[in-house]
Amino acid sequence: MNKTKRKIFETSMKLFAEKGYDATSIEEITATVGVAKGTLYYHFSSKEEIFNFLVEEGIKLLQNSIDIKTSKFSNYIDKIKAIILIQIKIVVKYEDIITILLSQFLGKEARNQKCKKHILEYVEKIENIVEEGIQAKQIKQGNAQAIASEIYSLICSCLVYKAKNEKIDVMKLYKEFEDTIVEGLKIK
């Protein structure tokens, strides 16, 4: 991605997260980036295309991180721990993308459906890991879909935690989640 496209991407992400998609205009994006509309349209055909690019990149980042980290472990509890740690790190580093995804999860417009589809695909990825862990008798019996949704919801709780505390100590928060959530998944 060239420097101008990256600046458009980063500025749009920040504005969409702060103001929302509908309240952000192309004019505001170009003024903030400091480029002409023609330059923006050279890289993106519309505000919707910018949004779609943000969503695709955000989900790709999350899914690729999960795939890489979980492939390193054979134990399913360790895979779940990796997912939790990655989610906390992504909220800390890419809060704007997560805010955009979550803010557009509900609704009937195409962009809402796109966000919902991507989030549900990601939760299904976690669900498959949980289900495999249950089958391997490494995770206690339970509803894999509910457990996966709970693990995904850590993203939301991290945003709430961050809003109240401003700064997140990643490892301290991870330890808290490990103590409460991961311990509950272990077979005793």
Containing domain of residue 87, as a range?
51-185
Give the model confidence (pLDDT) of 81-92 as tens digits. Answer: 999 999 889 888
Same domain, 120 and 135: yes
pLDDT tens track for 82-128: 999 998 898 888 888 888 888 888 889 989 999 999 999 999 999 99
Pair (179, 126) in one structural domain: yes
Residue 1 sits in a domain whose CATH number is: 1.10.10.60
84/148 same-domain check: yes
Q: Same domain, yes or no, for 56 and 24?
A: no
Rounded CA-CA distance 62/123 in Å is: 11
How many domains, in total, are found in the chain? 2
Average pLDDT over residues 21-44: 94
Residues 146 and 61 in one domain: yes
CATH number at residue 159: 1.10.357.10
pLDDT for residue 178: 87
Question: Are 38 and 93 in a shared domain?
Answer: no
68 falls in which pLDDT band (50, 70, 90)? very high
The structure tokens listed for 1 are 């991605």
pTM for the whole thing?
0.85
